[in-house]
Amino acid sequence: MDYNNGSYFADRLDEWKKRSGKDSWTVLRIMSEFVEGFEKLSTIGPCVSIFGSARTKPGTVYYELAVEIAKKATELGFGVITGGGPGIMEAANKGAFENKSTSVGLNINLPFEQHFNPYIQENKNINFNYFFVRKVMFVKYAQAFVVLPGGFGTLDELFESLTLIQTLKIDRFPVILVGTEFWGGLVDWIKKTLLEKENNISPGDLDLFYMADTADETVAIIRDFYKTNLIQPNF
């Protein structure tokens, strides 16, 4: 590629001009997703967002644990929000749906893996094109994050919530890592490398999340947190 050739930059400028018009329409598409999300979710009441891998199969330990956590959360008066797809998301929606409680699915358009699961209530499902709009909905309308084992997407949602709480962009709420065997290595790295070796976080940042292994432990953390919090579900 000859970058000294003026025609190269002229061609790139023409492409940019064509793209700029498309970007204006992209802004409107983004706005429409925010509007739909706000309108549909503004009346759902207190909810817990439950995250985890789309690849987790029914009958496995973490799938069944997600079902149990969702059921017990609804018994506290919470609804459940998930990413709307299979795996852990399906399990959490299933637990809420079977308890006849609010079951919300915030799906994302992907070329693989993602599709609506059958346990989402009618008119409680939203399809997103943009991950960042979807993440706003998770945070804005949840009173707790329950994070089961997952991949890059689960880690993204976990650290997004911790960053927003750490920087005081949102009020604190419980962020619970379920599965100490799965999360233990990451937590050790956060302690030993981020905190002790590099001093990239503060000691108090370790208190921004909890660890649990059972459904009872998980819902107890949420229940105890909201005993003194102004935002209360219908206990």
Looking at residue 4, its pLDDT comes to: 52
Identity of the residue numbered 151: G
Phi and psi of 186, rounded to 5°? -65, -45
The predicted-structure confidence for 143-176, as pLDDT tens digits, reads as follows 999 999 999 999 999 999 999 999 999 999 999 9
Looking at residue 234, its pLDDT comes to: 47
Looking at residue 111, its pLDDT comes to: 74
Looking at residue 102, its pLDDT comes to: 97
Segments of the chain scoring below 50 in pLDDT: 1-3, 234-235
The tokens describing 65, both together, are 């644990």
Short-list 36, 118, 50, 59, CA closest to 83 = 50
Looking at residue 78, its pLDDT comes to: 96
* Residues in CB range of 230: below 8 A, 6 or more apart: none
Looking at residue 26, its pLDDT comes to: 86
Looking at residue 46, its pLDDT comes to: 94
Q: Give burial (CB, 10 Å; 0-12/13-18/19+) of 229.
A: middle
CA distances from 196 to 150, 201, 202 (A): 26, 9, 9
Write out the DSSP string of 47-64.
Answer: EEEEE--TTPPTTSHHHH
